[in-house]
C-alpha cells in the first residue's frame, strides 16, 4: 500500500566478510539475518508503545497493528509493517489528512451516546438505538444553517408513538432545544497526532545494531558445525 506503514531493514554484509575468519565468514549470513530480525522486533515494540502513548485508550486490536516479517539468509531483509485493516485507519496519522474507517464514507462519531472504555460505540449500539421509538436516523437543519446527519433522540415518549420522518425535524429551534444528537455521521475526522515512525525506527537501529549483531554472531558461531 503506497505510503503505508512499512519499514525495510536491510544489510549489506560484504564489507564485513573480509575481516572474518573462514568459520565466521560462513556464518555471517545467518548472523546478519538474526540481527535484522531482532532489530525488527525491537522496532515493533517501540512502535507499539508509541501507539499506546499517541492515542487515548487505543483498542487492543489497534495495539496489535504492527507486524514483523523475519529476515532470512537469502533475503537479508526484515520487514516491519502495519497489518492491512489497521493500516487503513492509521494511514492519516502517518501522512496527515482525514481519517476514513475501513474506506467507508460515513464514520459514526459518538456525540451524546454511551461509549466503551476506548471512546468507541459498543458493538450493537447502533442497532439498539434504532430499536428505540424515540430515536430516528436522518438529517436535521440547525438554526445556524448547518445540516447534520446523524442519530437523533426526541425528548419524552420513549415507550411508544410513531417515529416521525427526519424531514419533520428540520426546525432549527426544535433541533437545538429539543432533539439530542447521539451520533453524528461524518465523511472523515481531521487528525492531528503523528506517529513519526521512521525517526523512531532509526533511533532503535542505531542504538541496538551493534549489540544485536554481537549476540547474533555468538549464537551463529556456537551453532556452527566445525
Say how many CA atoms lie within 13 Å of 105 toward its Cβ: 1
- 10 Å CB burial of residue 127 (0-12, 13-18, 19+) is exposed
Predicted pLDDT at 104 = 52
- Determine the Cα–Cα distance for residues 119 and 113; give it in Å rounded to an integer: 10
Predicted pLDDT at 13 = 60
In the chain, which stretches have pLDDT less than 70? 1-4, 12-24, 96-106, 156-177, 224-226
Query: Which single residue is written with the C-alpha cell 508503545?
Result: 49
- Determine the Cα–Cα distance for residues 214 and 5; give it in Å rounded to an integer: 29
Quote the pTM value.
0.67
Helix (H, G, I), strand (E, B) or coil at 139: strand
Q: What is the DSSP letter of 2?
A: T
Strand order in the sheet with 6-10: 6-10, 77-82, 66-69
Q: What is the pLDDT of residues 90-118, one digit of tens each?
A: 888 887 666 655 455 567 888 999 988 87
Predicted pLDDT at 118 = 79
Where are the chain's structural domains?
6-100+191-222, 107-186
What is the radius of gyration, based on Cα positions, of the chain?
26
Predicted pLDDT at 98 = 63
* Partner residues linked to 150 by β-bridges: 138, 184
Amino acid at each position: 500500500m503506497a505510503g503505508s506503514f512499512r519499514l525495510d531493514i536491510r544489510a549489506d554484509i560484504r564489507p564485513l566478510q573480509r575481516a572474518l575468519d573462514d568459520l565466521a565468514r560462513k556464518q555471517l549470513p545467518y548472523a546478519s539475518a538474526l540481527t535484522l530480525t531482532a532489530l525488527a522486533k525491537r522496532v515493533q515494540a517501540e512502535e507499539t508503545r508509541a501507539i499506546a502513548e499517541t492515542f487515548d485508550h487505543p483498542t487492543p486490536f489497534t495495539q496489535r497493528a504492527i507486524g514483523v516479517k523475519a529476515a532470512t539468509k537469502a533475503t537479508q531483509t526484515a520487514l516491519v509493517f502495519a497489518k492491512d485493516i489497521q493500516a487503513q485507519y492509521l494511514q492519516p496519522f502517518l501522512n496527515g489528512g482525514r481519517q476514513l474507517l475501513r474506506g467507508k464514507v460515513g464514520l459514526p462519531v459518538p456525540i451524546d451516546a454511551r461509549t466503551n472504555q476506548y471512546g468507541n460505540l459498543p458493538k450493537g449500539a447502533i442497532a439498539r438505538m434504532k430499536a428505540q421509538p424515540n430515536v430516528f436516523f436522518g438529517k436535521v437543519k440547525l438554526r445556524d444553517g448547518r445540516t447534520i446527519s446523524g442519530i437523533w433522540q426526541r425528548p419524552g415518549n420513549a415507550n411508544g408513538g410513531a417515529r416521525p420522518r427526519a424531514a419533520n425535524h428540520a426546525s432549527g429551534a426544535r433541533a437545538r432545544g429539543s432533539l439530542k444528537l447521539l451520533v453524528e455521521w461524518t465523511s472523515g475526522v481531521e487528525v492531528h497526532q503523528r506517529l513519526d515512525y521512521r525517526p523512531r525506527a532509526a533511533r532503535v537501529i542505531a542504538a541496538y545494531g551493534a549489540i544485536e549483531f554481537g549476540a547474533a554472531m555468538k549464537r551463529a558461531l556456537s551453532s556452527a558445525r566445525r
